[in-house]
Each structure stands twice: as C-alpha cells, then as structure tokens.
Amino acid sequence: MKKTRFFYGLNYFLIVLLGWLLLFGKAAEMNKRSEESAKREQKEKKKETDENKVQQREPSIRVLLTDSSWQSCYHQSVTIEQKGKEHTYTPDSQELQNDSLLLDGGTDGIAIPSIERAQNPPVYYGTLEIKKTAQGLLIINELSLEAYLEAVVPSEMPASYEEQALMAQAVCARTYAVCQIQENSLEKYGADVDDSVNYQVYNNFGADKRTNKAVQDTKGQILCQNGEPITAYYFSTSAGRTSTDEIWGADRSAAYLKSVECDFDQNMPWSSWSVEIPWETLEKRSGNLEGSGEFIGLQVIKKNISGAVTGMEIVTENKSIQLEGEYEIRQFLSPAGCLITEKDGSIVNGSNLLPSAYFELNVKSGKAVQIQGKGYGHGVGMSQNGANEMAREGYGWQDILNYFFKDITLEVVGNNLSKRET
C-alpha cells in the first residue's frame, strides 16, 4: 500500500509539474509575441514619426510660369480651367483690381490652356497667383518641393529610363531647386525659379508613376558638401569627359565638381554630331557685334582641360572680337535653320544653341563653316544618358552621384531654408 500511494503521489507530482511547465512555456511564448508586437508597433510609430517630421520639414517652392515660347514671364492674358469652368483674365479684369488674385488648385489642379506645353493643357497643383504689372500678367505657382519634383523629373529625363538613373536625377533636381531657393535670384518677381531651361524644366510633361516613385524613394534627400547643398548640375550627353564650372569662367572649380571620363554614353546619338552653317548667317551675326565691319572668319583660341571651347575669335574687317564662355560661343554658332546629323545618321533641326561647346571648326571661307562636335549640353556635373547606361550596368543611384560629383554627402532638407545674402 505504501508503494502504491508513493507511485500515485509521484505521478500526481509529475503531472502537476508538467502542467506548470506547459503554462510557463505558453506564458513565455505569449510574452515573446507581446514583446515582438510591441517592437513592431514601436518601429511603425518611429517610421510614421520620421515621415511626419520629413513632411513637416518639407519646404515649398514658388515657380514663375513662362509663356508658350518659354521666353517671357509676362502674359497678356491668362486662361484657366477648373472644375469644368473656363475663365480668362487680362490686366483689366475686375478680379485684378487689387493687382493680384490667388487661386487654390485643390485636389484636381488648375489647367492653363493659354500656355502650350507637351502636355496640353498643363495642369498645376498647389496655388496659382496672378499678379498684374505694367508689362503684363505674372503667374506664380506655389507648391511643395516634392510635388514640384514630380513635374520636373519627367520633364528633364525620360520616364522610361532606368529606376536608379531616375532616382539620381530626382536627387540632383531636388538639390538644384534647394540652391535656387537659397539664391533668391527671382525675388523681384516673388518667385524662386521659373519653369524653363534657365532653371529646370517644370511641367512640360505630366507626372508619371515611375518618376513619382523615384521622387518618393529619395524623399527629402539632397547632395551636400560641408553641410551645404551643392549646385547639382546635370546635362544630356557627354563628349567623353565632363567639365567643371571653369567652362563658365570660374577662376577656381567648385570643390564638389570634377572632370571625369565618361564613356558610358558613347553610343548615344548625341555623342557625336556635325552641322554646316552658311557664311551669310555668320556674316549677319558678326554684323550685330559693335564696330565689327565685314566678316572675314573665325577660329578657336582656347579650350579647357576637358576639351570644351571656352574662347573663340571672330575676325572682321575692322577688328578681332573674342567670345569667352561656352554659352556665348554656342549662341553665336547657333544652328537654327540648319540640319544636324547625329552619330546614328539621324537628321534633326538645329536650335538656338549649338549642341555643345565640344567641337572642331572647318572654315570654308566665303561659303560655310563646318562643325564637328560631341555631346549635348554644357557638360558639367551628371550626364543623364551616362547615368542611364550606368544604371543598366548595375550601378546604384548613390554610385552614380558619387561618380560625377566629389566628396558629397546625403542629407535631408528641412523647411527652414534661409535665403543667402547677396
């Protein structure tokens, strides 16, 4: 009997112990799950807080809208369309008796049929301010910086480009915009930038899912050096090597710019090109130069380290005139009205600027000037086509930016942007 009681007593003890162990294990598991859930919740809250902080810090930008030719910021009339209703404003409109009118774009935006763009009509979000001046009407579109970028990136780089290239473009565009906000060069118009190539092309093409994602995935991030945003220049296609701002006459290159070899875009149509400009055209342009006299010829007198022409001499009957700086030279050699042959044999119409300052001249006195050139754009900073080819080869967006710029860091922009003193 004693052994039997002992046996049953032992079994009872073991069963109770097993029960306690099971309960303890279950409690531990529940506690672990609870801790994991709390951690997840804390992580989500932190993420939401960080996102809210970025959103709270997000600055706005004021964009001066140019006319259909992209040449003037003054409009003789402005036609808007909102919620199915169309209205035209002129300097004599009753709504402008106090010199300005503020319109809210709401969720659907405001279309402006009186401005022609690639997307017709262009639609603007945020607010539109129409201001009356002696020269005509000014239109200023104010919106968040990120919303602005969603209409800049697809206007500056094809939305079909590689994801990593689009992200690099978004960071460059954001950084450039931040610099312009600080520069405050359009203060007299009450704006930070205009919508043309003078700054960054804005809203020529509408927002696209792929470019929107590139903007969102790099939200708030800008390129800095020593804590200050850089001027993140970019251009279409390289001539085999990028330039620094010395191409514009800078005595010393900006510390974040570098001249690097770039053969990634060597197979692009604009990597090489040729054009012939009639003698009469250049004769007429030289005649517009003060005290010039009869046009005799021209020659390259200076190139920078990357091969861009930064000095050209125009020889006339009365004197020799020197042009300095790539923009002035490209403007004088404008191929407007001429046909340009690209590397792949494509024929395109010339514009008001020579494609680039990377060229050689073949002067046929009295007949024409043949120009053999390379690249498209000023050649400073990031090559957009180079970036796209790099992305195809597996480079990430940060790798791309570090390739074209020197000693840079990524920082998040805040809403406390201050204007630089002039």
Residue 157 lies in a domain: yes
Q: How far apart are CA 276 and CA 285, in angstroms?
A: 15
Strand positions, DSSP E, 267-375: 273-278, 295-303, 309-316, 320-324, 339-342, 347-349, 358-364, 368-374
pLDDT of residue 179: 96
Instruction: Using pLDDT thresholds of 50, 70 and 90, give the confidence band for residue 3.
Output: very low
- DSSP lists the bridge partners of residue 405 as 257
Cβ–Cβ under 8 Å, residues 355 and 371: no
DSSP 113: T
Say yes or no: 331 and 392 in one domain.
no
Q: Are residues 303 and 173 in the same domain?
A: no
387 plus 339 within the same structural domain: no
Q: How many domains does the chain have?
A: 2
What residues pair up with 100 in beta bridges, in sequence order? 131
Cα–Cα distance between 112 and 80 in angstroms, integer?
4
Pairing of strands 234-235, 382-383: parallel
The answer to whether residue 399 sits within a structural domain is: yes
Residue 346 pLDDT exceeds 70? yes
Do residues 288 and 396 share a domain? Answer: no
- Burial (CB < 10 A; 0-12, 13-18, 19+), residue 46, is exposed
Give whole-number Cα distances, 284 to 174, 279, 290, 380, in Å.
41, 9, 12, 31
The pTM of the full predicted model, rounded to 2 decimals, is 0.83
Confirm whether 358 is domain-assigned.
yes
The DSSP call for residue 383 is E
How far is the C-alpha of 71 from the C-alpha of 197, rounded, in Å?
10
Residue 109 maps to a domain: yes
DSSP 336: T
Kindly state the tokens that stand for 123.
């639609």
- Write down the pLDDT at residue 26: 62
Residues 83 and 215 in one domain: yes
Q: Specify if 12 maps to a domain.
A: no
Average pLDDT over residues 143-172: 98
Q: How confident is the model at residue 286 (pLDDT cuts 50, 70, 90)?
A: confident
Let me know if residue 250 belongs to a domain: no
- How far from the centroid of its chain's Cα atoms is residue 69's Cα? 20
> What is the residue whose two structure tokens read 């709270």?
56
In a domain, 43, yes or no: no
Same domain for 315 and 345, yes or no, is: yes
Tell me, rounded to whole angstroms, the distance of Cα 243 from its chain centroid.
18
350 close to 338: Cβ distance less than 8 angstroms = yes
Q: Which two tokens stand for residue 58?
A: 């997000």
Helix axes 145-156, 209-217, angle to 10 degrees: 130
Structure confidence by residue, pLDDT tens digits, 257-275: 999 999 999 999 999 999 9
| 212: confidence class by pLDDT, cuts 50, 70, 90 | very high
Containing domain of residue 314, as a range? 269-374
**Do residues 68 and 189 share a domain?**
yes
Q: For the packed helices 145-156 and 163-183, what is the interaxial angle rounded to 10 degrees?
A: 120
Say which range, 1-5, 62-66, 223-227, 357-361, has the weakest mean pLDDT.
Answer: 1-5
Share of residues in the chain with pLDDT > 70 (%) = 84
Split at pLDDT 50, 70, 90, the class of 166 is very high
Q: CA-to-CA distance for 265 and 274, rounded, in angstroms?
A: 18
Same domain, 79 and 167: yes
Do residue 275 and residue 223 come from a single domain?
no
State the Cα–Cα distance between residues 129 and 102, nearest whole angstrom.
4
Residue 77 lies in a domain: yes
